[in-house]
Amino acid sequence: MIGKTRPCLQSRRSFIRKALWGAGVFAASEMVMSGKTPGSAKPEIAASMFPWDLADEGLDQVLDNLREMAGANSVYLCNLSEEVRPFRGGEFTHNPVRKTYIAEDCRVYWPPDPKYYGRIKPLRTQRDFLAGTDWVGEFAKAARAQGMKAGVELFHGFIDRPRLEGPFRDSMQVDIFGHPVLTHNYNKPAACLNSPDFQEYAVGLFSDLAANYDLDYIQTCMIPYVLPGSFLEHNLPPDPIGWALAAPEKGGCFCAHCLEAAGRHDFDLAAARPELLILARQDQQAVLDSGITAKDYLGTHPVLKRWLDFRCESVNSLYGLIGSRIQTLQPGIDLRWNNYIRTHGYYSGIDLPTFMNHLGSIRANAFVEHEDDMALVDEKVQYLHNFNKIVAGRLHWVASIDIRGKNPQVLERSAEVSSYTGCNGYALSHYGEAALENLRAVKRGLRKSKWAEYFN
Ligand SMILES: [Zn+2]
């Protein structure tokens, strides 16, 4: 087993490295704001992987492939996942050990430092081939040796189902009808962001990583407030009642922790609940058919607007805690948000203009490459242009690219044209499920991108 690195190991070398990276980002953002072509700023080409990829193929081999084939200069290791892999079915194409993998529910792949946790503690992997190795420590060390940025991603749910439905049931989100809130992607309970136990656990995970590992960034895709799956699949106009409040087993949260937290935000949630319940029970289709806009609807029902704002305030409070804690433990470390909802994130508790105050960078999620539809690449580019209008000049941001597609030509074009949207680089997802030919397609696209000088 590999021993952990020292706590608070922020070295002068890594501080300078991060400061220089930040300066480059700032310069790029300045150029975007001034309308000049920011062609001289070197992009971050990040790529994600899972511990079983490393165990099966070899850590150095995986990093070599990403660096040489795809031009990656930044890598991050995913923790707390819970899916069958490959995510969309099929089999791994270059894993020499296995064709598929079923991940344990919300496990970490490093030895947690108990001093950062309270009632809820992280569960470490128990799989024989993964247990006993400090994958985050080994990963960060190997990335450094190859001159790459190193990061960790904390996935969606954070807590495994058996414990959230069992001993930590008091930390589950509850909808306005009194039912547990279930996530859109796994149909498992969602944890409440205002639960003191959950907050301690979440802050603890980030703190543990920041204190004990030499990381450039910690990325997270923690689901704040759940929306119906249909919202994520279709770019529909906003539906304030249906999305955020009335969808069965969605629309958290009305738990005791939230009633208490609302008071600290000068919002009487207990008093608002009966009025919100009337809205939740009305004929939603009739409201939609009336043609009223979301903005006008919220203006007509300020209690709903106040409740939605409170959810955003809850998210901001938690990330404010996380951000300030990790900066204390490792100054310069970057808190990166995976912005997985493309539009109308407000209805999931994300108010980007204020949320950005607590972040270091953003991964703009916009997977289209797996669809084998070139027209979707153009649509994605338009989305990224619009996203840039919100974040340009404020944060470093990278555009996601789904390298698990079947058509390398789509990937090549996306890697070329997405570079002109104002982004500061890409995030390639996920190595183990991508054909190696797809990595080469990304490199070909980069060679035709505005960053061509760095990849020829
Ligand atoms: Zn709650």
Per-residue model confidence as pLDDT tens digits over 69-88: 999 999 999 999 988 999 88
How far apart are the CA of 311 and the centre of ligand 1, in A? Answer: 10
How far apart are the CA of 257 and the centre of ligand 1, in A? Answer: 5
How far apart are the CA of 181 and the centre of ligand 1, in A? Answer: 10
Evaluate whether 343 touches 224 at the Cβ level (below 8 Å): no
Collapse the DSSP code of 291 into the 3-class scheme (helix H, G, I; strand E, B; otherwise coil) and give the result.
coil
How far apart are the CA of 345 and the centre of ligand 1, in A? Answer: 19
The 8-class DSSP code of residue 42 comes to: P
* Arithmetic mean of pLDDT, 436-449: 98
How far apart are the CA of 284 and the centre of ligand 1, in A? Answer: 24
Predicted pLDDT of residue 232: 66
How far apart are the CA of 340 and the centre of ligand 1, in A? Answer: 22
How far apart are the CA of 226 and the centre of ligand 1, in A? Answer: 12
How far apart are the CA of 5 and the centre of ligand 1, in A? Answer: 36
How far apart are the CA of 202 and the centre of ligand 1, in A? Answer: 15
Name the nearest CA neighbour of 107 among 72, 139, 140, 83: 83
Predicted pLDDT of residue 238: 78
How far apart are the CA of 170 and the centre of ligand 1, in A? Answer: 9
- The Cα 212–Cα 207 span in angstroms is 8
Return the CA Rg of the chain.
22
How far apart are the CA of 152 and the centre of ligand 1, in A? Answer: 27
Predicted pLDDT of residue 235: 67
Predicted pLDDT of residue 103: 96
Name the nearest CA neighbour of 95 among 371, 430, 444: 430
Q: Regarding beta strands 74-79 and 149-154, do their DSSP bridges make them parallel or antiparallel, or are they unpaired?
A: parallel
b/e per residue 293-319 (b: at least 16 CB within 10 A): ebeebbeebebbebbbbbbbbbbbbbb
Indicate if the pLDDT at residue 255 is higher than 60: yes
Query: Amino acid identity of 436?
Result: L
How far apart are the CA of 185 and the centre of ligand 1, in A? Answer: 20
Contact partners, residue 243, CB within 8 Å, separation at least 6: 227, 228, 231, 250, 251, 344, 347
Predicted pLDDT of residue 14: 45
How far apart are the CA of 416 and the centre of ligand 1, in A? Answer: 43
For 12-45+67-171+184-230+312-454, CATH gives: 3.20.20.80
The answer to whether the pTM exceeds 0.85 is yes
Confidence of residue 233 (pLDDT cuts 50, 70, 90): low
Indicate if the pLDDT at residue 206 is higher than 80: yes
How far apart are the CA of 174 and the centre of ligand 1, in A? Answer: 6
The 8-class DSSP code of residue 171 comes to: G
DSSP string, 90-118: S--SS-SS-S-EE--TTEESS---GGG-S
Place of tokens 């995970």: 205
Indicate if the pLDDT at residue 25 is higher than 60: no
How far apart are the CA of 333 and the centre of ligand 1, in A? Answer: 29
* Arithmetic mean of pLDDT, 202-230: 94
Evaluate whether 315 touches 193 at the Cβ level (below 8 Å): yes
How far apart are the CA of 84 and the centre of ligand 1, in A? Answer: 29
How far apart are the CA of 349 and the centre of ligand 1, in A? Answer: 13
Query: Amino acid identity of 211?
Result: A
Tokens of 145: 């040796």
Name the nearest CA neighbour of 404 among 115, 90, 106, 141: 90
Evaluate whether 224 touches 349 at the Cβ level (below 8 Å): yes
Q: Domain residues of the chain, as ranges? A: 12-45+67-171+184-230+312-454
Greater pLDDT, 214 or 240 = 214
How far apart are the CA of 385 and the centre of ligand 1, in A? Answer: 35
